[in-house]
Amino acid sequence: MNLTLHVWRQSGPNQPGKLEQYDAKNVSPDQSFLEMLDEVNEQLIKEGKDPIVFDHDCREGICGMCSQVINGVPHGGQERTTVCQLHMRNFSDGDTIYIEPWRALAFPVIRDLIVDRSGLEKIMQAGGYTSCHTGGVADGNAILVPKVDADYAMDAAECIGCGACVAACPNGSAMLYTSAKVAQLAALPQGKAEAAQRVCAMTDAMQEAGFGNCSNHYECQAACPKGINVKFIARLNREYQKALFK
Amino acid sequence: MRILTSSVGRKILMSITGQLLILFILIHLIGNSTIFFGPNGINAYAEHLHSLPPLVWAFRLFMGAAIAVHICYGVMLTLENKAANPGAYAVKKNLKASFASENMIWTGLLVLAFIVYHLLQFTVHGTPDVVIGLDSANRPDVFRMVVTSFGNGLIALAYAFAMIMLFLHLSHGIPSFLQTMGWNNEKTIPAFGTGGKVISAVLMLAYISIPAVILAGLLKL
């Protein structure tokens, strides 16, 4: 199939950018979206032009590196799918596709489709851990975790930190990301001890990194490639209220 | 004070003041419905309500403070959120956000404008349509005042429009306050979404029924 692409090109941070049009010819429906871009890039290199710069790593849908807004939806709108796992069979011959970077104040564009997502790392550094003393290996099952709690924590831990929630949020908020980390650790006995300190530190770090406030649009859950549920935001709100009285 | 400055803290304040305002909307509707019992209903209710001025003023100040907090943080958070999202997408498709959730600031400000007009009209008696007088039992004749004003189609229409704005505001506001308080899980999220819309619609229709019934001539002087 043949496609018309409108891709955001920006030579560097603080540089003006614009959408540029490219033709993707003879695209196989079995190709992934990133493979299609690889071929467009090969053609651009042959023509002596700068290839389109985009983030990618595992191409298995688990690393959270790929980050493109395709036709107005982060990761392209196929439910629970990252860009790398989005296949060209979802498009039709003659389609026009708009490809843009994540857009949020906290995600400045580095180049073309790559944005600086270190804001998410700052939130993580503020409290996305449990403090522990080093020493001998603890006995297996020394700390019992009920199955329901383990499952709940695993659901939250599915977050791959790609930032699609921020890209989709009308407020540029990272509340879904933050809540997944807060809920995951608050649900486990190892994380409970620092739960109050963690929720305050992580939400403060979110605010400081320039992310907006959550106003419950739930656009984040709809765009999340891992289907992280907004129930974790409710959990974060509960944890926050408990912390207010500590 | 963490709650006054933090992202989640201010959201909780928005939620609590919102809940107080919803409670007021419910009580006000029950009070207003005394109009269906005729002059003896609403005039007796109004007289009873105002028989203890210190209580009336304490209540007014309390509600005024709740509204002020709700508006101040509403405006502040909206401005911050607009700044956090530069809105630079050439193409943006919403998957879940609704017209109501995206326009909370505008429906809220229109409801505020309505509250100012409503107080100016029926509390301060400052609009030209207002008829003040006493009824046969020597009570302020609220029934005559309301029926005369709502007899004007334009005024009735303005009230109906304001109630549609209130419906939009509450249809996102009700599920939203439950989520913000943390009273939510995977099962309740869709239920509260639907429930919020239904309750908002019932409140809107109940409020609109008053000018509608008057305009239809079913409540007459």
Question: Are B35 and B42 a contacting pair, CB within 8 Å?
Answer: yes
Q: Which domain holds residue B150?
A: 2-84+98-215
- Position B90 in a domain: no
CA–CA separation, A223 and B121 (whole Å): 47
- Position B188 in a domain: yes
First to last CA, chain A: 61
Question: Are A2 and A97 a contacting pair, CB within 8 Å?
Answer: no
| Cβ contact, residue pair B101, A217, below 8 Å | yes
The pair of three-digit structure tokens given for residue A24, joined into one six-digit string: 């993707």
Domains contained in chain A, CATH given = 3-110 (3.10.20.30), 117-244 (1.10.1060.10)
Question: Are B43 and B137 a contacting pair, CB within 8 Å?
Answer: yes
Work out the number of other CB atoms within 10 angstroms of the CB of residue B12.
20
Question: Which one of A72, A200, A230 has the shortest CB-CB distance to B93?
Answer: A72
Q: Which residue in A has a C-alpha nearest to residue B98's C-alpha? A: A217
- Position B62 in a domain: yes
What per-residue confidence (pLDDT) applies to B23? 97
Whether residue A139 is predicted with pLDDT greater than 90 in this model: the reply is no
Q: What is the residue-wise DSSP string for B63-86?
A: HHHHHHHHHHHHHHHHHHHHHH--
Q: Among residues of chain A, what percentage have pLDDT more than 90?
A: 94
- Position B89 in a domain: no
- Position B139 in a domain: yes
- What confidence tens digit (pLDDT) does each residue in B16-38 have? 999 999 999 999 999 999 999 99
Number of domains in chain B: 1
**CA A238, A142, A128: angle at the middle one, nearest 5?**
40
Task: Encode B91-102: b = buried (16+ Cβ within 10 Å), e = exposed.
Answer: bbebbebbebbb
| Residue A147 CB burial class (10 angstroms; 0-12, 13-18, ≥19) | exposed
Question: What would the mean pLDDT of A89-116 be, rounded to a whole number?
Answer: 98
CATH number at residue B162: 1.20.1300.10
CA–CA separation, A17 and A179 (whole Å): 33
Among B146, B160, B155, smallest CA distance to B221 is for B146
- Position B102 in a domain: yes
B11 interaction partners in chain A (CB closer than 8 Å): 213-215, 237
Helices (H), ranges, chain B: 2-5, 7-32, 39-49, 53-84, 99-102, 104-122, 142-150, 153-180, 188-215
Question: What would the mean pLDDT of B114-141 be, rounded to a whole number?
Answer: 96
CA–CA separation, A202 and B7 (whole Å): 11
Element (H, E) at A176: helix A175-186
| Cβ contact, residue pair A105, B85, below 8 Å | yes
- What confidence tens digit (pLDDT) does each residue in A21-72 have? 999 999 999 999 999 999 999 999 999 999 999 999 999 999 999 999 999 9
Whether residue A140 is predicted with pLDDT greater than 90 in this model: the reply is no
Q: Which residue in B has a C-alpha nearest to residue A167's C-alpha? A: B85
- Position B36 in a domain: yes
What per-residue confidence (pLDDT) applies to A178? 98
| Cβ contact, residue pair B91, A172, below 8 Å | no
- Position B25 in a domain: yes
